[in-house]
Amino acid sequence: MTQRNRILSEPDVLIVGGGIVGSAIFRECARNGLSVQLVESRDFGWDVSAGSTEMAHGGFRYLMALADWPLVFESLTERELLSVNAPHLVRHLNFYMPVYKGDGTTFDFCIPRVPCMPITVGGYFGAGMWMMQAGMILYKVFAALGLIMKGFPPNKDKIGYKKFKKAQMLKIAPQLNPDKLVGGFRFTDCKIEDVERLVIENILSAERYARDTGIAAEAANHAVAEKFETAPDGRVTKVGIRDALTGEVFSCRPKIVVNSTGVLIDRTLEKAGIGEGRELIRKVSGSHIVSPRFLKSPDLTEAYAFWIDKKILFLISKGRDRLLIGTTERDVEVGDGINHNRNFKADIDEITAKTKSRFPEYARDPEKDMYYTRVRPLLRQPGKTDPKAVSRRDLIQWSGKSPNTVSVSGKLGPARHLAEVATKGILAKLKPGAKYATTHKDRYPGGEIEGCMDDCSARLRAAWPDIDPVTLENVARRYGARHAGVLELAKEPRDLDKIVSQPDSQPLCALLFSFKTEHCATLSDAMARTGTHKLFGQGLDGAAKAADYLGEKLGWDAARIKSEIDGYKNFIAERCDTV
């Protein structure tokens, strides 16, 4: 591990789990002058973060529970901050929400210490439109207030909505099923192009803070925290960290331990001998279909949201030629020898049926369709039997058995805010009275561009006129202000060859850039950094080409090249396991 990463022997904070939450806490700690070590057992962002619906959204459906309104407010605020600070990764989409007769849900007037008062709305013609419009108004108000409170002027074009009658809705989307259609709305929410990229930007941002302030901040992937030692009072005093690639073992003696291992939070506490005696996390899977784009509109900012069975079904443009459709909710078990991210045929069939009920001409494409499922860590709420009814509220739980251990989990979009709240608690323990340095106005490394993304793309075309404009656009949309680092590695024409022959593919030199600057240790890491594993074919047709290229650039021998190709095939097989 000494050649790949460095493990701090006595950091202020050790973060176990390098997904979106762990990496966000890593960034907040570094910003506030805490020495911090991040470890991830596989690659950064590989699990729940990689398999999300890739939405930085307010959570329209959560308006149906009064107790979740603060979560919606927080999520909408952070959504807008992400679009400002990471414009290369986060963009607004125009969501159309067609409303059908009978659409509705149960509004839950649950207030602390007040009995629940559920009211069913939408059981007759038109009620769905009233309910949705009320939600649209709240969505707009929450987004505007959140931005004002953070010191940003609200953009009415990005936070407003528009109402449509049935005829207008069918003109916008002629492929919709007209039967029982009442009307619809258009509103905006944000999509993250690839969540793994945001995880990496968190890490790069933290490392930049560390360089600027002289504190130590180290991130290690393929590093397994597997042996915990505790003092008589339960305080974690030492953690053994094993490099999963080399077998080397290192010791870390942190002052504070952050458990951000997602669906494995409870198991991590048990492994450390400080289990709570009750489960903190409920494991709920969400399945998705990545399908060839069948929408006739060329507008790639067009997306759809349907209210079906008390849940939103999303259809989101993904790149130039794909649609991401999802999701479902199912309680699952997480145990040794079980691929908790396996796909369930019943869930894929459910998504297909719901999509076809709204777009009758939709049909699965067995030649191209990709399916993936990720298990989400939700706050365990006794008495909630239906996964759809479980709140998405954050978890920040200081251990009752170990005073220096905190477990943290939450939603993707507002992860920065969750990390800020958690880190404030950590700072209060380590440096009482210290002033907190917030990150809400700090741009991510790739987000430090002048003007908008269209301006950035135009500058790239002017600076590199001999490079294919589509390649330049792909690089700009993935790396933002860091694009020059990728393109400067293109010393010969082969460096600009696409990894796979698809319009959204990155050039081969992006793989090399990942190894040089983004903590890559394997071919699978690099294929994930470049998003190749999410293209049709999942990069399998380009694995040999990519491995040969990296072998030449990095000095791999034939055995290493074969091992990397086999490793990538196994990575994809696990990701696509179906039962």
Higher pLDDT, 47 or 348: 348
Mean pLDDT on 142-156? 89
Structure tokens at 453: 């993304």
Residue 435 lies in a domain: no
Residue 307 lies in a domain: yes
Residue 310 pLDDT level (bands cut at 50, 70, 90): confident
Residue 326 lies in a domain: yes
Residue 8 lies in a domain: no
Domain count, the chain: 3
- Over residues 44-96, the pLDDT tens digits come to 998 888 888 888 999 888 887 888 899 999 999 999 999 999 999 999 999 99
Place of tokens 């459906």: 61
- Same domain assignment for residues 372 and 497: no
Residue 178: predicted pLDDT = 97
Phi-psi label, residue 476: left if phi above 0, alpha if psi -120 to 50, beta otherwise = alpha
Residue 162 pLDDT level (bands cut at 50, 70, 90): very high
- Same domain assignment for residues 179 and 290: yes
Boundaries of domain holding 96: 87-191+281-389
The C-alpha atoms of residue 344 and residue 102 are separated, in whole angstroms, by: 28
* pLDDT-wise least confident of 75-89, 320-334, 510-524, 542-556: 320-334
Residue 536 lies in a domain: yes
Tell if the pTM clears 0.75, that is, is over it. Answer: yes
Residue 125 pLDDT level (bands cut at 50, 70, 90): very low
Higher pLDDT, 576 or 118: 576
Residue 117 pLDDT level (bands cut at 50, 70, 90): low
The answer to whether the CB of 284 falls within 8 A of the CB of 329 is yes
- Over residues 21-32, the pLDDT tens digits come to 999 999 999 999
CATH of the domain at 376: 3.30.9.10
- Same domain assignment for residues 350 and 419: no
Residue 396 pLDDT level (bands cut at 50, 70, 90): very high
**Please, what is the average pLDDT of the chain?**
90
Last residue within a domain, chosen from 336, 358, 389 = 389
Residue 37: predicted pLDDT = 98
Residue 351, pLDDT above cutoff 80: yes
- Same domain assignment for residues 302 and 179: yes
Mean pLDDT on 119-133? 60
The answer to whether the CB of 8 falls within 8 A of the CB of 218 is yes
CATH of the domain at 250: 3.50.50.60
The angle subtended at Cα 525 by Cα 523 and Cα 529, nearest 5°, is 115
**Bridge partners (DSSP) listed for residue 325:** 289, 315
Residue 374: predicted pLDDT = 85
Residue 126: predicted pLDDT = 46
The C-alpha atoms of residue 124 and residue 573 are separated, in whole angstroms, by: 46
Burial bucket for residue 145 (CB in 10 Å: 0-12, 13-18, 19+): middle
Residue 263: predicted pLDDT = 92
Residue 165 lies in a domain: yes
- Over residues 401-451, the pLDDT tens digits come to 999 999 999 999 999 999 999 999 999 999 999 999 999 999 999 999 988
Last residue within a domain, chosen from 334, 364, 389 = 389
- Same domain assignment for residues 293 and 383: yes
Q: How many CB atoms lie within 10 A of CB 494?
A: 12
Question: Rounded to 5 degrees, what are φ and ψ at 340?
Answer: -70, -15
- Over residues 2-28, the pLDDT tens digits come to 346 689 999 999 999 999 999 999 999
- Same domain assignment for residues 350 and 322: yes
User: Which letter, b or e, does each residue of 354-386 get, where b requires 16 or more Cβ atoms within 10 Å of its Cβ?
Assistant: bbeebbeebebeeeebbbbbbbbbbbeeeeeee
Residue 434 carries which DSSP code? P
- Over residues 448-486, the pLDDT tens digits come to 998 888 889 899 999 999 999 999 999 999 999 999 999
Residue 531 pLDDT level (bands cut at 50, 70, 90): very high
CA distances 317 to 158, 296, 414, 505, 571, Å, are 18, 12, 22, 16, 25
Residue 104 pLDDT level (bands cut at 50, 70, 90): low
Mean pLDDT on 131-155? 90
Residue 124, pLDDT above cutoff 70: no
DSSP codes joined into one string, 286-335: EEEEEEE---S---TTEEEEEEETTEEEEEEEETTTEEEEE---EE----
- Same domain assignment for residues 538 and 408: no
- Same domain assignment for residues 220 and 117: no
List the beta strands (DSSP E) in 201-308.
Answer: 217-220, 223-230, 236-243, 249-252, 256-259, 281-292, 302-308
Last residue within a domain, chosen from 334, 356, 389 = 389
- Same domain assignment for residues 171 and 30: no
Residue 54 lies in a domain: no
* pLDDT-wise least confident of 26-35, 101-110, 350-359, 552-561: 101-110
Higher pLDDT, 310 or 171: 171
Residue 336 pLDDT level (bands cut at 50, 70, 90): low
- Same domain assignment for residues 272 and 414: yes
Read off the amino acid at residue 351. I
Residue 529 lies in a domain: yes
- Same domain assignment for residues 120 and 240: no
Residue 158: predicted pLDDT = 83
- Same domain assignment for residues 517 and 420: no
Alpha helices per DSSP H over 432-542: 453-463, 469-479, 483-487, 508-517, 523-529
